[in-house]
Amino acid sequence: MSDEKQHASGDVEAGDTSKRVGMEAIRERGVDPEELREKLIDAVGAEFTTYYYYTNLRMHLAGHEDYKEITEDARLEDRAHFELVAPRIYELGGHLPNDIRDFADRASCPDAELPVPMGGDEPDHVEDLDAESILEVLLEAERCAIRTWSEVCDMTQGKDPRTYDMAQRILQEEVEHEAWFIELLSMERDGEINPAGHFIRGEPGDAPYSTNRRINDSA
C-alpha cells in the first residue's frame, strides 16, 4: 500500500543521495536553488563580517554607554543571523568557503570599518574619532542588510517557505537596527528627536525574531 501514497516517490530515486527533494521542490516552484544558495553565502558573509566590525566600532564608542549597549544588541543579532542561515546553505547543497578571506570578499555589503578621522591616513589613528562618524557607519551597514534580505524575501516568497521564513525574520531585526541608529545619529549629529521605540532586549543580542530556541528552552 505504501507505494500508492501520492508523495511516496518522485523524480529523485529512492536512496539517491546525490539529489535533494528539498531543492527540487523549490526549483519546481520557480526558484533556482543554486543561485539562491550563492546569494545566501554572500548574505551571511556580510552578517559574519559585520559582527566582527561592530565589535571594533563598539569599542570606540567610549563615553557613550547607551550607544555601546545598542550596538552590542545589533552586533550579537547579526551573529544570530549568520548562525540561523548557515545550515540552509548546506541544505541547498552548498557549503561555506573554507578560506575566511574568500568569505569576507564575497560579503554582499561593504566592510563596516572604522571611519578614517579628519586629517588621518589610517583608521587606527583613532584620537579624532567621534560617535557621529561611527554611527554613520553603523547606519549604512544596516541599510545594506535591509536591501540584501529584502531581495532574498522577494526571491523566495510563495516559493521557498523555509528560506523566506528565515529571511523575513532577519529583515524585521535589520529594520529595527536601522531605526535605532537613525534615532542615535539624529540626536548626536543634528540634535533632533527621531524616536525609534528602542527598548532593552531581555538579554544582550536576544534576537527575538531570528534566534533558534532550544527545544528544552522554557523561556
pLDDT in tens, 96-120: 999 999 999 999 999 999 997 655 5
Examine the pLDDT at 126 and tell me if it is beyond 70. Answer: no
Which residues, at least 6 apart from 6, have a Cβ–Cβ distance to it below 8 Å?
none
Neighbours of 23 (CB within 10 A): 20
pTM over 0.75: yes
What is the DSSP code (8-state) at residue 205? T
Task: Write down the pLDDT at residue 201.
Answer: 72
Each residue of 150-187: pLDDT tens digit?
A: 999 999 999 999 999 999 999 999 999 999 999 999 99
* pLDDT interval class at 10 (50, 70, 90): confident
Which residues, at least 6 apart from 176, have a Cβ–Cβ distance to it below 8 Å?
196, 198
Q: How far apart are CA 85 and CA 31, in angstroms?
A: 17
**Distances 186 to 5, 135, 140, 183 between C-alpha atoms, Å:** 61, 10, 14, 5
* pLDDT interval class at 204 (50, 70, 90): confident
* pLDDT interval class at 12 (50, 70, 90): confident
Q: And the C-alpha cell for 54?
A: 561592530
Examine the pLDDT at 197 and tell me if it is beyond 90. Answer: no
Query: What residue ranges do the domains of the chain occupy?
Result: 29-111+130-190
Q: How far is CA 43 from the centre of its chain?
A: 7
Torsion of CA 179, 182, 184, 186, to 10 degrees: -140
Of 65 and 128, the structure prediction assigns the larger pLDDT to 65
CB 205 within 8 Å of CB 76 = yes
Q: How far apart are CA 192 and CA 184, in angstroms?
A: 9
Neighbours of 142 (CB within 10 A): 25
Output the CA torsion sign for 206, 217, 164, 78: positive
Task: Write down the pLDDT at residue 11.
Answer: 80
Class of domain 29-111+130-190: mainly alpha
